[in-house]
A and B are shown apart, each in its own frame.
Chain A
Amino acid sequence: MSNYKKVKVQAGPSGWGGPLEIQPTDEKKYIVCITGGGIHPVAQKIADLTGAEAFDGFKSSPEGSFKAMACAVIDCGGTARIGVYPMKGVPTIDIHDTTPAGPLAQFIKEENFVSGVSEDQITEA
């Protein structure tokens, strides 16, 4: 039995997509942060509220790769990372105000992607 709590992540005022509900499990227990400068406050808040572990994706890869990710937090400018994680089935949270674009746009849906997110858009569900 996992003791992880669920959080709701909404789009920011100029963002797109969502809301997403992030529910970590024993199998998907990492809040993976793929941003510059270590763990972003958005990833840290999701980790703190859910009880899951924030993981710096630029330092190493979590054991289990995509299958172990409860969600991915990115600072994508709208072309590349925005599509990679949705394509792999990972709920994706962009801190920038992006909308689906790039060659992988077809994989980006309101059900798996939310953008413009700051700490204010993360609440207990």
Chain B
Amino acid sequence: MQIYSSEIVKIGEQANLFLDEGIVVFFGDNAPEELQDFALIHKLVPITGDIEVGTKINLSDSNMEVVSIGPVANENFKNLGHLVLKLDSSTDEAQLGDVRCKYDKKPDIKIGDTLRIIN
């Protein structure tokens, strides 16, 4: 079941600082300007479920699957549209707010691309 689907509306000027290290940082379009600089901004729509181990995430041309999730990740996503994906395929315990994923390829992200989260 799809629990979230939205569109990337902005790519922060410094988002590459994180992307280069395999970290995808999202904020909703209500986030303060200083945070938007470092993130991918998606149009906020309601999320209808929790991200869990095994959740599938489709971003641009990349297919990911959650292998580990931090205890505050869902809360941050629901409250702020804030999501941190770590593309390292590691099954080590995720940091508090992180969602660790395995993936088929690193995403090539453009404005207008979609973010879909499916349980």
Where the two chains meet, the residues of A that have a C-beta atom closer than 8 Å to any C-beta of B are: 34-37, 57-58, 61, 65-66, 75-81, 84-85, 88, 96-98, 101-104
In the complex, the number of residue pairs spanning A and B with C-beta atoms less than 8 Å apart equals 74
Chain B min CB distance to A1 (Å): 30
Query: What is the number of residues of chain B that contact chain A, defined by CB distance less than 8 Å?
Result: 30
B residues sitting closer than 8 Å to A (CB atoms) are 17-18, 20-21, 23, 25, 30-35, 37-39, 70, 72-73, 75-76, 78-80, 82, 84, 86, 95-98
Contact B23 A102 (CB under 8 A): yes
Assuming A36-B79, A80-B25, is B96 touching A61 (CB within 8 A)?
no
How far is it, in angstroms, between the C-alpha of A37 and the C-alpha of B13 when the chains are bound? 27
Q: Contact check, B97 vs A84: say whether CB atoms are below 8 A apart.
A: no
| B38 proximity list for chain A (CB < 8 A) | 80, 84
Q: How far is the CB of B49 from chain A (nearest CB, A)?
A: 18
Known: A98-B96, A102-B18. A36 touches B23 (CB 8 A): no
Q: Nearest chain B CB to A17's CB is how many angstroms away?
A: 15
Task: Please judge, given known A-B contacts A96-B96, A97-B96, A103-B18, whether A77 and B35 are in contact too, CB under 8 Å.
Answer: no
Instruction: Determine whether the beta carbon of A36 is less than 8 Å from that of B75.
Output: yes
A80: B residues at CB distance < 8 A: 18, 25, 35, 38-39, 82, 84
Residues of A within 8 A of B76 (CB): 36, 75, 77
Q: Most chain-B Cβ atoms within 10 A of its Cβ — which of A84, A88, A97?
A: A84
Residues in A with CB closer than 8 Å to B80 are: 36, 58
Whether A37 lies near B79 (C-beta < 8 A) is: yes
Among A34, A77, A78, A88, the most chain B Cβ lie within 10 Å of the Cβ of A77
